[in-house]
Amino acid sequence: MREIFETCEARYDGLIPAEALRASGMNSHAVDSLLKRGELARVRRGWYALGPHWQKIGADGRYRLFVRATAARAERDVTYSHHSAAVLHGLPLIGPWPQAVHAVDPDTAGGSSSRLLTTHRGPVDPSASVIDGVRVTSLSRTLIDMAATTSFLVGVTMVDHVLHREAARMAAARRSGIDGAPWITTATLLTELDSARPRYGHRAAERAITFANGLSANPGESLGRVRFEELGFAIPELQVRFDVDGCTYYVDYFWRGVRKIGEFDGHIKYTRAAVMDGRDIVQVVVDEKNRESLLRPQVNSFNRWEWKLALSPIAFCRFLTDTGVPRAPTRRHS
């Protein structure tokens, strides 16, 4: 039985169709038994995944499988968009993925929804691509759709991610002398916004795009910047360089006027291989403490925070006030 599961999973890249289970001689009672024991997980009607794999891949991976399974059962070809395109493009989301897939259709009457499918009215995306067998809006169009229809936080986080990734790609191209696909920049996204002409959310999308900054290295750093903006605190400089005792360090946030360093302390830095560079967790923590000890004498104050604090606007506002983060200049409204 294990061989049957693994064969199906390999053939369908993580998905197991109900038809394959029936073809192997399994009836609904046997499938229900496997579901109860956690050996199988139901992705959606007609599609399953191995239970351990389903648990391992997390929320992003589970929604990705859900989108692929839904597309495989679709009665007609559509272009998937918004959250569904975002997950296939590998964009980060702060918050839960939806319980339905999203698609764009120029012929739908103002947008429609069913339990598992939300259809948005919009122009055809001439740059749509196919990822894992699913036709999705282009990366630029997906960013526009998400920034126009979701929160400022979600839009900024996704645009930050792409701008940061594109900056790294540009740097690699300069070193190698080989250019790849056209770069995605703030300017090209604004051009895409004018071309897409979203029915709603044009200003929201423009705000997210112009606020986004490719120097934000991860979603946690994006969250901090959005909170500073929303709560009325001064927006700091990002990735400022400090040279101390022959070593070079870059800090997440620096408020130069009050010489204050702020750092988002995400747990990823203690687990990701690229960050650990062959070190064990204890050594990573020790190195981080030593880095902080060298930086503190260079500034007036140094503070860290984690996800839980930044996700609470009330608690984070109190923390920023108590630790001396400067307020943004008062804005005049006409």
Task: Mark whether 251 and 186 lie in a shared domain.
Answer: no
332 is a domain residue: no
Task: Mark whether 129 and 245 lie in a shared domain.
Answer: no
Domain that holds residue 131: 65-211
Which of helix, strand or coil describes residue 67? helix
What is the tens place of the pLDDT at every residue in 167-207?
Answer: 999 888 888 888 777 899 999 999 999 998 888 899 999 99
What pLDDT does 278 receive?
57
Task: Mark whether 197 and 274 lie in a shared domain.
Answer: no
Distance CA 84, CA 74 (A): 14
329 is a domain residue: no
Mean local confidence (pLDDT), 147-166: 97
Strand 40-44 vs strand 16-17: parallel, antiparallel, or unpaired?
unpaired
Task: Mark whether 191 and 226 lie in a shared domain.
Answer: no
Task: Mark whether 113 and 189 lie in a shared domain.
Answer: yes
Instruction: For residue 227, give the CATH number of its domain.
Output: 3.40.1350
Task: Mark whether 121 and 175 lie in a shared domain.
Answer: yes
The number of distinct structural domains making up the chain is 3
User: Pick from 171, 193, 211: which residue ends a domain?
Assistant: 211
Kindly report the backbone phi and psi dihedral angles of residue 177, in degrees, each rounded to the nearest multiple of 5, phi listed first: 75, 10
Residues 6+ apart with CB under 8 A from 243: 249
What pLDDT does 112 receive?
58
100 is a domain residue: yes
240 is a domain residue: yes
- Please, which residues bridge with residue 327 across strands? 233
Strand order through the sheet with 117-120: 112-113, 117-120, 101-104, 79-80, 134-136, 129-131
Written in H, E and C, the secondary structure of 155-174 is HHHHHHHHHHHHHHHHHHHH
Check: CB of residue 252 under 8 Å from CB of residue 262: yes
Please give the structure tokens belonging to residue 68. 């692929």
User: How many CA atoms lie less than 13 Å away from 130 in the CB half-sphere?
Assistant: 6
Kindly report the backbone phi and psi dihedral angles of residue 250, in degrees, each rounded to the nearest multiple of 5, phi listed first: -120, 135
What is the tens place of the pLDDT at every residue in 47-101?
Answer: 999 999 999 999 999 999 999 999 998 877 889 999 999 999 999 999 999 999 9
End-to-end CA distance of the chain: 70
Distance CA 217, CA 207 (A): 20
Distance CA 249, CA 294 (A): 10
Task: Mark whether 197 and 265 lie in a shared domain.
Answer: no
Please give the structure tokens belonging to residue 310. 């930044």
pTM of the shown model: 0.89
